[in-house]
Amino acid sequence: MRCLHWFSSLVVGVALVGCASAPQTIPSVSATASQTPASGATKVCMVADDAGFSDGAANQQAYNAVLQAATDLKLLVGRAKSDEQNDYASAINSLIDTQCSVIVGIGAAHADDLQAAAQAHPAVEFLLVDAQPAEPRPNLKPLLFDLADAAFLAGYVAAAQAPNDTVALSQQTAEPYRNGFTAGVDYFNRTKGAAVQVVEEPGAAAAGVHKIVEAAVISAIGESARGEFSSAPYYGTLRDGGVDIVPLDASASDELRADVEAVRAALIDGSITPPAAG
C-alpha cells in the first residue's frame, strides 16, 4: 500500500491508500480573560479534559469555535481544565460559579458529568459535542455527526486510489462508518468494473472523514445568545456541511474529482443511500 498519514482524532475510519498531503495544523488558541458578566450578559465557557485546549483535535476545534463565536457576538469567555476524569465535574462547577451562561463539553467520557450539571443547574445551557446523553435535558443540546454518507464517499475515493486493489480498514472502526465505507468501495467496484477488496488491519491509520466541529459549536452558541436555545440534537451531515471527506490531494485526476462530486450529489439528493449500520 501507499504511505498513510495520521489525522486528528476527529478524522475517523480507514487507511485511505495514497500519499495525501499532510493536513493543516489547527492553529493554537489563547484564552480570553475570564470575567464575571453583568446581569443578563452572555458568557460562553468550555471545559476540557487532560488533553487541554491545544490538542490538535476535538478540544482545540471546539475552543477555537468558542473564541470565534465570542468575538462575533461580543460575548465573554471562560474555560476550565480537568486533569483526571473525576475532576471533570469540579471543572464544570468552577465555570458555573463564574456565571457562565453556556458551557461546552466534549465526548462520551464526560456526558454523564455534563448531564448531571445540566440537571442541577437548569438556568445554565450546555452543549455536548460528539456524544449523546443518557437522558435528555431541556438545557442540554447534543452536537452529533452523521458519518454514513461521508463514509460512503470516503470509501469510493479509497477504492479509486487503491494501488493494489486493496484498502485497509481498522479493526476498531465503528458503525455507521464501517458499513458506509464498505458500501462506497462496493459502489466503485460496480460502477467501474473493479475488484477492490476491503481488508482489516490492526492499527490501520485513520483518515477519510472529518467532523466540522467548529461550525456546529458556533451555530449552537449563536442560538443561545439570541435566546433561541433548543435541546433538540444537532446532526451534522454531508448535506449541510457538518461532515465531509478529507480534501483530495494534488495528484487526484480530474476524472476522479468529477466522479466524487457526482457521487456527493447523489448522496445528498438521495439517489444513493448507504446501508444502515448493522
pLDDT at position 67: 96
Encode pLDDT of 227-236 as tens digits: 999 999 999 9
Tell which CATH classification among 3.40.50.300, 3.40.640.10, 1.20.120.1750, 3.40.50.2300 matches the domain 43-146+212-236: 3.40.50.2300
For residue 12, pLDDT over 60 is answered with no
Q: What is the mean pLDDT of the chain?
A: 84
Task: Please tell me the predicted confidence (pLDDT) of residue 277.
Answer: 53
Residue 183 C-alpha cell reads as 458500501
Collect all residues with Cβ–Cβ distance below 8 Å to 102 and sequence separation of at least 6: 42, 43, 44, 45, 124, 125, 126, 127, 221, 224, 225
- Given a cut of 70, is residue 11 above it in pLDDT? no
b/e per residue 112-134 (b: at least 16 CB within 10 A): ebbbebbeebeebbbbbbbbebe
- Return d(Cα 201, Cα 139) in angstroms, integer: 42
Average pLDDT over residues 12-41: 41
End-to-end CA distance of the chain: 28
Domain ranges of the chain: 11-23+147-208+244-269, 43-146+212-236
State the Cα–Cα distance between residues 167 and 16, nearest whole angstrom: 7
How high is the pLDDT of residue 4? 29
| Residue 205 confidence (pLDDT) | 59
Give the residue, 32 or 149, on which the prediction is more confident: 149
pLDDT at 229: 96
DSSP states along 183-223: HHHHHHHHHHT---EEEEETTPPPEEEEE-HHHHHHHHHHH
Indicate whether 30 pLDDT > 50: no
Tell me the pLDDT band of 56, cut-offs 50, 70 and 90.
confident
What does the pLDDT average to over 217-235? 95
Say if residue 29's pLDDT is above 60: no
Least confident of 178-187, 204-213, 234-243: 204-213
CA-closest candidate to residue 236, choices 146, 174, 154: 146
All 3 cell numbers of residue 136?
Answer: 435528555
The answer on pLDDT for 17 being more than 90 is no
Please state whether the predicted TM-score (pTM) of the whole model is above 0.85.
Answer: no
Confidence of residue 206 (pLDDT cuts 50, 70, 90): low
Per-residue cell: 204: 490501520
Question: Residue 261 carries which side chain, given as an amino acid letter?
Answer: E
Report the pLDDT averaged over residues 153-162. 95
Model pLDDT, residue 42: 85
pLDDT at 51 over 90: no
The pLDDT assigned to 18 comes to 35
